[in-house]
Amino acid sequence: MLTTILIATTVVAFALAAASVRRIPEGQVYSVRRFGRSPSLLTAGTHVLVPVIDRVFHKIDLGGQVLRFDGGTVYWQVLEPEAADEVFDEAPEMIRSNVVAALRDASSAHSADRRAVGTQLKHTMNGSLRSRGMLVTRVELDAA
């Protein structure tokens, strides 16, 4: 009986130890919250987290994101993970709504050059996203 308890305790201890080690790949940042408090950011490398207490909220890829929408594609990336962490979950919808609003404004101007409209969209969106730690790198519009 004592041997069974000792083996079970050892297995649980090893499982907790294995669960506490996190390997964060190059080009990513993990947002970790302890008891839901303000996040700390972990960069690439191996880190030790306290199981149950520390929780990974966001896995932020710094290399870039692709957002497809009806009418084109937006390429964006996170430049400042500290600022972007708070709105990271809402970022795709925020970018999509900015694109739709900017396209509506551009269509009222009757601009025929897709590349010029895409560049204008990029500048318009970067005005609002830059303060949130994100940057639109490219906008490709489909042919009408």
* Residue 132 · residue 90 · CB < 8 Å: no
As a whole-number percent, the residues of the chain with pLDDT over 70 amount to 92
pTM of the model: 0.74
Residues 56 and 86 in one domain: no
DSSP secondary structure string for all residues of 105-142: HHHHTT---HHHHHHHHHHHHHHHHGGGTEEEEEEEEP
Which of residues 44, 61, 78 is at a domain's end? 61
Q: Which domain holds residue 99?
A: 65-141
Residues 78 and 114 in one domain: yes
pLDDT for position 77: 93
Residues 70 and 30 in one domain: no
Residues 48 and 89 in one domain: no
Residues 103 and 131 in one domain: yes
State how far the Cα of 51 lies from the Cα of 15, in Å rounded to an integer.
Answer: 10
Which of residues 61, 90, 106 is at a domain's end? 61
pLDDT in tens, 76-92: 999 999 888 888 888 89
pLDDT band at 25 (very low <50, low <70, confident <90, very high): very high
Tokens of 95: 């970018």
How far out from the chain centre does Cα 32 lie?
13
The structural domain count of the chain equals 2
Q: Which residue in this structure is represented by tokens 């609002």?
A: 128
Residues 100 and 75 in one domain: yes
Amino acid occupying residue 64:
G
pLDDT in tens, 90-140: 889 988 888 887 777 766 555 557 788 888 888 888 888 889 999 999 988
Tokens of 69: 């929408």
Residues 35 and 90 in one domain: no
